[in-house]
């Protein structure tokens, strides 16, 4: 069954959303991310995708204190991404209470370092972040495009034991125009055993049912919750359905 993973994106310790990853298109939704996280938990959600947008820009983890606060004050299973570039960054993320770390840029730029973390922490603690635009990988908080093809990139990592992949279609993210179901379907046809987490553009409940139908493991929802296109009550009904 599809796992619902609400997202909190952090800038200056506040809950924000960007459009297409553009730092100039920022909306602050709540001054207190812990309040948001508690609301997710109160509506039966068990996971949280916490993104350090300051960290992604600054190339080191910045918002670890907010991670620590949410981990201490909720029971949410947290995956944390953004700015994880060194051994110290990974350590601070796990020491601050994250259950998983999402690693994107380093997977592209320093495979040796990525796999050292993968071997140290194991396949259930490390999520491969694959941010894409027109099936090409992007890095550094989406500020930097590459010529690396998505499927070639995934083939190498999955063949070496990676189990969890968070794939975000940047062109869809924060736009409330629907998600890339065809891309995820194609990905799962090619790599059927992947624990795929879909991210970017999810706007309506019917998309969650569609993603569930094609065996996507998890779906990250951000702006649709904050703009009330999808309510927490809707998500509670989805997760408790028979």
Q: Where in the sequence numbering do the catalytic residues fall?
A: 9, 131
Q: Which residues contact 178 (CB under 8 A, 6 or more apart)?
A: 172, 201, 202, 203, 204, 207
Longest dimension (CA), the chain: 44
Contact criterion met (CB below 8 Å) for 33 and 62:
no
DSSP bridge partners of 6: 221
Residue 9 CB neighbours (<10 A): 26
* Beta pairing class for 77-81 and 47-52: parallel
Angle separating helix axes 181-190 and 205-213, nearest 10 degrees: 10
Task: Reduce the DSSP state of residue 167 to 3 states and report it.
Answer: strand
Question: Distance (Å, rounded) from C-alpha 213 to C-alpha 215?
Answer: 6
Burial, 64: exposed, middle or buried (Cβ in 10 Å; 0-12, 13-18, 19+)? buried
What is the spatial distance between Cα 100 and Cα 242, in angstroms, rounded to a whole number? 28
**Helices and strands, counts by H and E, the chain:** 11, 12
């Amino acid at each position: 069954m599809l796992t619902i993973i609400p997202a909190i994106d952090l800038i200056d310790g506040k809950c924000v959303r960007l459009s297409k990853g553009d730092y100039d298109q920022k909306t602050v939704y709540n001054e207190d991310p812990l309040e948001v996280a508690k609301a997710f938990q109160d509506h039966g959600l068990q996971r949280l995708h916490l993104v350090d947008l300051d960290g992604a820009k600054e190339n080191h983890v910045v918002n670890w204190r907010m991670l620590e606060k949410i981990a201490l004050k909720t029971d949410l299973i947290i995956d944390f991404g953004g700015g994880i570039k060194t051994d110290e960054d990974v350590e601070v993320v796990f020491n601050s209470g994250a259950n998983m770390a999402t690693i994107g840029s380093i997977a592209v730029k320093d495979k040796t370092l990525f796999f050292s973390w993968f071997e140290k922490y194991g396949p259930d603690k490390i999520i491969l972040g694959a941010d894409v635009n027109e099936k090409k990988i992007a890095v550094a908080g989406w500020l930097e495009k590459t010529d690396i093809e998505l499927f070639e990139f995934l083939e190498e990592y999955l063949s070496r034991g990676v189990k969890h992949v968070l794939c975000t279609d940047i062109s869809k993210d924060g736009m409330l125009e629907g998600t890339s179901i065809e891309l995820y379907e194609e990905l799962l046809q090619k790599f059927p055993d992947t624990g795929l987490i879909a991210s970017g553009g999810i706007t309506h409940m019917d998309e969650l049912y569609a993603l569930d139908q094609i065996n996507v493991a998890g779906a990250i929802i951000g702006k649709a919750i904050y703009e009330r296109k999808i309510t927490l009550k809707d998500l509670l009904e989805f997760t408790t359905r028979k």
